[in-house]
Structure 1
Amino acid sequence: MKAMKKLFIPLCLLALVACGNSNKADETAEPANEAKQADEVLTIRAMNWNFDKEKYEVPAGEVTITLENTEGHHGVVIEGTDVEISGDDSVTTTLEPGEYKIICSIPCGTGHTEMVSTLVVS
């Protein structure tokens, strides 16, 4: 019985230390399966034969670009970048300063060839 009493206190201390250990880095870390979204978000809304704006502007750097089809089914290609979006989707990319042409990449009818806009990255 005396031996059990001698082991009881050290075991309790060990349990308290193990349960009380808090690693702050783990609490603030982002989950590994969650994709990081850029601070800057650009939404392009597409409807039959036009985009909602003639010109979009964003700062240079990491940008999440979202395509919303409000009428019809469209896709976008931003010439001079790696951005290609089909349907309602998003892509995160890093953009350099410049002026880029946005075109509809899915044939959408009579006005498809005029479905063009500009992206200005400053």
Structure 2
Amino acid sequence: MKKWLILATVLTLALVVAACGANSDNSKETMGGISNASGNESSTSESEVVITAKNWDFDQKEYRIKAGETVDLTVKSAGGVHGVRILKTKYSIGNRETVAVKFDAPGTYDMICSVPCGGGHSLMKAKLIVE
């Protein structure tokens, strides 16, 4: 019985670690929010913000954009497969996707990783500050 428990623990740990380690160039994920079909409609946007995600962390704790301005938000994964969901909005951005966003009023929004990516997944948080 003890051997089965150890085996199950090792297999579970391997699955958790592998969840963030998978990085397929062919993955195109739609996370349920508004997204561009082509991923490159930046001609209507006034600027671009790139959010780089790696295992259990974003490259910045805060991202800033201007109120009333259309901004392309792009998610790039430096390790594993990640996505971003902006809480209390309709915006969700998958791995290697670009979504044009516009916020009319200043405010602060919490962003989280929208793709379960292992043991540190719950730590993947950042803020989008609309000025």
| TM exceeding 0.5 | yes
Query: Which residue matches 1:50?
Result: 57
Counterpart selection for 2:94 from 86, 95, 98: 86
Task: Tell me whether 1:115 sits opposite 2:124 in the alignment.
Answer: yes
Shift of 1:109: 0.5
Q: TM-score, normalised by structure 1?
A: 0.69
Deviation string, structure 1 residues 31-79 (Cα, Å, up to 9, x no partner): xxx8433112111000000000011111112111000111110011011
Query: Which residue matches 2:28?
Result: none
Deviation string, structure 1 residues 74-119 (Cα, Å, up to 9, x no partner): 0110112221111111000211310000100000000000100001
- The answer (yes or no) to whether the contact 1:81–1:95 under 8 Å persists in 2 is no
Matches within 5 A, 1:20-35: 35=41
5+ unaligned residues in a row in structure 1: which ranges?
A: 1-33
Q: CA RMSD in A?
A: 1.4
5+ unaligned residues in a row in structure 2: which ranges?
A: 1-39
Looking at secondary structure, tell me which structure has more strand per residue. 1
**What is the distance in 1 between the residues matched to 2:73 and 2:93?**
9
Deviation string, structure 1 residues 6-42 (Cα, Å, up to 9, x no partner): xxxxxxxxxxxxxxxxxxxxxxxxxxxx843311211
Runs of 4+ in 1 over 4 A off after TM superposition: none
Larger radius of gyration: 1
Q: TM-score, normalised by structure 2?
A: 0.64
Q: Give the SS at the match of 2:109.
A: strand
Counterpart selection for 2:111 from 81, 88, 102: 102
Amino-acid identity (%): 36
**What is the distance in 1 between the residues matched to 2:91 and 2:48?**
14
Q: Give the SS at the match of 2:99.
A: strand
What amino acid is aligned across from residue 75 of structure 1 in structure 2?
G
